[in-house]
């Protein structure tokens, strides 16, 4: 016991078993045993048990494939959109080959990474110009910073925004703080539930440089409400920056579409690549050439620029829209549009396989409700089906499946573990059966 309480020689132990990479994990396993001893417990501290614990710790490290059986299509914690095969192939090609990332093949001179995907975005949205950076929070900060930088230095540039749109999303991304970082003074108008066009008009002054319209993202205000849309704001004669967030290019649940916002008169429309667009993580600005150029030339643009893998995957994703195959090609859109009856065969087959593999489990198929997630369509419900597992402690079973290989993430409700089949990808059913078998053992 005393030897364990002292600093162990973890590295020689790992090397002796030909597993130098396990050194850190073995230290962790021994530290776990040390804590148990200090707590008055008597753990088994044999070399084999330490290695087994270390292997378990190591298997839980790093980015891994996870089976999403939650029914949340754009699950932020599980990586949001899944790339199409074409997009993944394009990213792989860019990763494993040289490319014309910043090279003009026609002239033989230096090119610009900012030119990639721009022609496709112009055609799809009707915008004069476009820019791709690493995410939507970044493109919002860059757009505001570029507009403020264009204002006379001794003035106090102001951006008007409705109080009902001062949202927080993600890991603490708050609109007021982004405005402050950009150098703009935020002028709030209206109230949380009602902001009229006249509220904006009254606050316009010589320092006003833009109006910011923000999609409420992951919440919705109902009841006694009123708001001014992009078309209304465009009549005020100031640049309107519309952060529509989700990147919807096709009709879906009433979510604002990029092209509609531009046609309504927005000077810039900002949106994500990995939400309803169904592509890689990216922040995209589409709109007036003058404003996009100012963003491209701003010092922040380099800090926020998208890499070659993102650009390659985005081009492939946008190509599917132009070719009219987006709903068939993009997994995200496919999950939204597949009908419940098409899911039934998948759910019933999975239930049969699980019941056959683990006879002690209580298995059935039940109606479920899937959701969009990812800061989109906050109250949009999608009818679905789930395989429910009972006959065991649901929380304990869920925990074991999260630590299986591959991990399976479902949801616990009504004392059972629900595995929603709407968010399952090809091959996930076999993985679930294997992981449940391992978890039962």
The 8-class DSSP code of residue 273 comes to: S
* Centroid of chain to Cα 412: 23
- Which pLDDT value is given to residue 1? 39
**Domain span at residue 71?**
67-80+333-440
- Do residues 196 and 74 share a domain? no
- Do residues 230 and 299 share a domain? yes
Asked if 295 and 267 count as a contact pair (C-beta separation under 8 A), the reply is: no
> pLDDT (tens digit, 9 = 90+) per residue, 190-203?
998 999 999 999 99
- Which pLDDT value is given to residue 424? 98
- Which pLDDT value is given to residue 309? 97
User: Quick one: pLDDT band at residue 4, thresholds 50, 70, 90?
Assistant: very low
CATH, residue 378:
3.90.1150.180
- Do residues 230 and 308 share a domain? yes
Provide the whole-model pTM: 0.85
- Which pLDDT value is given to residue 221? 80
> pLDDT (tens digit, 9 = 90+) per residue, 267-301?
999 999 999 999 999 999 999 999 999 999 999 99
- Do residues 187 and 260 share a domain? yes
Mean pLDDT of the 100-110 span = 96
- Number of domain units in the chain: 3
User: Quick one: pLDDT band at residue 374, thresholds 50, 70, 90?
Assistant: confident
- Do residues 54 and 108 share a domain? no
- Do residues 239 and 346 share a domain? no
> pLDDT (tens digit, 9 = 90+) per residue, 168-177?
876 677 888 8
- Which pLDDT value is given to residue 82? 96
User: Quick one: pLDDT band at residue 2, thresholds 50, 70, 90?
Assistant: very low
Q: Which of 290, 325, 360 is the last residue of a domain?
A: 325
- Which pLDDT value is given to residue 75? 94
- Do residues 262 and 114 share a domain? yes
The answer, yes or no, to whether residue 142 has pLDDT greater than 70, is yes
The answer, yes or no, to whether residue 3 has pLDDT greater than 70, is no
User: Quick one: pLDDT band at residue 326, thresholds 50, 70, 90?
Assistant: very high
- Do residues 20 and 163 share a domain? no
- DSSP letters, 54-99, are HHHHHHTSS----EE-SSEEE-GGGTSSPPPHHHHHHHHHHHHS--
- Do residues 386 and 286 share a domain? no
- The rounded mean pLDDT for the chain is 88
- Do residues 153 and 255 share a domain? yes
Residue % of the chain over a pLDDT of 70: 87
- Do residues 279 and 254 share a domain? yes
Mean pLDDT of the 304-312 span = 96
- Which pLDDT value is given to residue 282? 97
Asked if 418 and 410 count as a contact pair (C-beta separation under 8 A), the reply is: yes
- Do residues 303 and 339 share a domain? no
- DSSP letters, 344-366, are HHHHHHHHHHHHHH-TTSEEEEE
User: Quick one: pLDDT band at residue 14, thresholds 50, 70, 90?
Assistant: very low
CA dist 429 and 351 (Å) reads 10
């Amino acid at each position: 016991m005393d030897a364990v309480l002292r600093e162990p020689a973890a590295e020689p132990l790992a090397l002796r078993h030909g597993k130098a990479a396990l050194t850190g994990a073995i230290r962790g396993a021994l530290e776990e045993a040390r804590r148990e001893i200090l707590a008055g417990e008597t753990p088994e501290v044999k070399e084999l048990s330490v290695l087994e614990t270390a292997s378990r710790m190591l298997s839980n490290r790093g980015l891994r494939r996870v089976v999403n059986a939650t029914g949340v299509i754009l699950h932020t914690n599980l990586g949001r959109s899944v790339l199409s095969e074409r997009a993944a192939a394009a990213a792989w090609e860019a990763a494993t080959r040289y490319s014309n990332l910043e090279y003009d093949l026609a002239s033989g001179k230096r090119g610009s990474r900012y030119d990639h995907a721009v022609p496709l975005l112009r055609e799809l949205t009707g915008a004069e110009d476009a820019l791709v950076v690493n995410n939507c929070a970044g493109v919002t900060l860059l757009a505001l910073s570029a507009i403020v930088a264009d204002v006379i230095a001794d003035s106090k540039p102001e951006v008007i925004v409705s109080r009902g749109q001062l949202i927080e999303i993600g890991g603490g991304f708050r609109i007021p703080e982004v405005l402050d970082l950009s150098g703009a003074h935020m002028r709030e108008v209206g109230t949380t539930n009602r902001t009229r066009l006249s509220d904006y008009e009254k606050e316009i002054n010589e320092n006003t440089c833009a109006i910011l319209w923000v999609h409420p993202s992951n919440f919705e205000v109902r009841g006694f409400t009123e708001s001014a849309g992009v078309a209304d704001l465009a009549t005020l004669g100031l640049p309107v920056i519309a952060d529509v967030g989700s990147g919807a290019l096709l009709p879906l649940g009433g979510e604002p579409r990029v092209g509609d916002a531009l046609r309504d008169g927005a000077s810039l429309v900002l949106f994500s690549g990995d939400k309803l667009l169904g592509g890689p993580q990216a922040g995209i600005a589409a709109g007036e050439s003058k404003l996009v150029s100012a963003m491209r030339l701003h010092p922040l643009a380099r800090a926020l620029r998208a890499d070659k893998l993102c650009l390659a995957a985005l081009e492939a994703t946008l190509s599917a829209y132009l070719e009219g195959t987006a709903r068939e090609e993009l997994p995200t859109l496919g999950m939204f549009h597949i009908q419940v009856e098409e899911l039934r065969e998948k759910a019933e087959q999975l239930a049969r396989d699980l019941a056959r593999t683990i006879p002690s489990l209580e298995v059935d198929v039940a109606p479920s409700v899937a959701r969009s997630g990812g800061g989109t369509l906050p109250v949009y419900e999608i009818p679905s089906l789930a395989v429910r597992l009972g006959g065991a402690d649901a929380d304990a079973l869920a925990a074991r499946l999260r630590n299986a290989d591959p991990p399976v993430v479902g949801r616990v409700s009504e004392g059972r573990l629900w595995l929603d089949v709407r968010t399952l990808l090809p091959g996930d059913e076999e993985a679930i059966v294997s992981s449940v078998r391992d978890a039962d053992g």
